[in-house]
Amino acid sequence: MDSESPLSELLCFDLYAASRSVTSVYRVLLDPLGLTYPQYLVMLMLWRHGDRTVRELVDELRLDYNTLSPLLKRLEARGLLERRRRPDDERSVTVLLTDEGRALQEKTRDVPKAISDAIGLDDAVIADLQEALRTLASNATAHAAHMSTNTAK
């Protein structure tokens, strides 16, 4: 974008651009399956770890209810999953896969390799990158929370 910005603002722009570019790769792969990237993340959780409450998905994917609620509704409408109120706590909703939802997993078999190829970085670089991103996200999230509670500077 630029050359005279402070380093951290340039980084943020690169992060923003990189994230969108990765999503666009997922789009190419997932569109034939009728899934978006966030939807794929939900399906991944269910395939790997079985039934989850909406709250667990919120925590694990770091998305909000207001993003997940309609997203789950769409996945349910497509017949991939079912939402069921918990009998022991009527506030909670358990999300569970249908047979069709389970069957879809097979069609995603080649996704990880395709992503790995598209990224084109070797594992050592990826590991470093990942650690830096996690630190960054953790710092930023904490900072944002703190800043918005403190009205004053």
Partner DNA sequence: AGCGACTACATCGCGCACGATTTAATCGCG
Partner DNA sequence: CGCGATTAAATCGTGCGCGATGTAGTCGCT
In the complex, which residues of this chain contact DNA (CB under 7 A)? 20, 23-24, 27, 36-39, 53-55, 58, 63-74, 83, 88-94
d(CA 66, CA 58): 10
Judged by CB under 8 A, which stretch of 36-44, 78-86, 88-96, 98-106 contacts its own copies? 36-44
Q: What is the DSSP string of 59-122?
A: HHHT--HHHHHHHHHHHHHTTSEEEEE-SS-TT-EEEEE-HHHHHHGGGGTTHHHHHHHHH---
Cβ of residue 87: shortest distance to its own copies, in angstroms? Answer: 29
Is residue 11 a contact point for its own copies (CB under 8 A)?
yes
93 makes contact, choosing from DNA, its own copies, none, with CB < 5 to 8 Å by partner type, with DNA
CA–CA gap between residue 10 and residue 144 (Å, rounded): 19
Q: Name residue 145's amino acid.
A: A
User: Which is nearer to DNA, 87 or 124 (by Cβ)?
Assistant: 87
Of the pair 7, 77, the CB lying nearest its own copies is at: 7
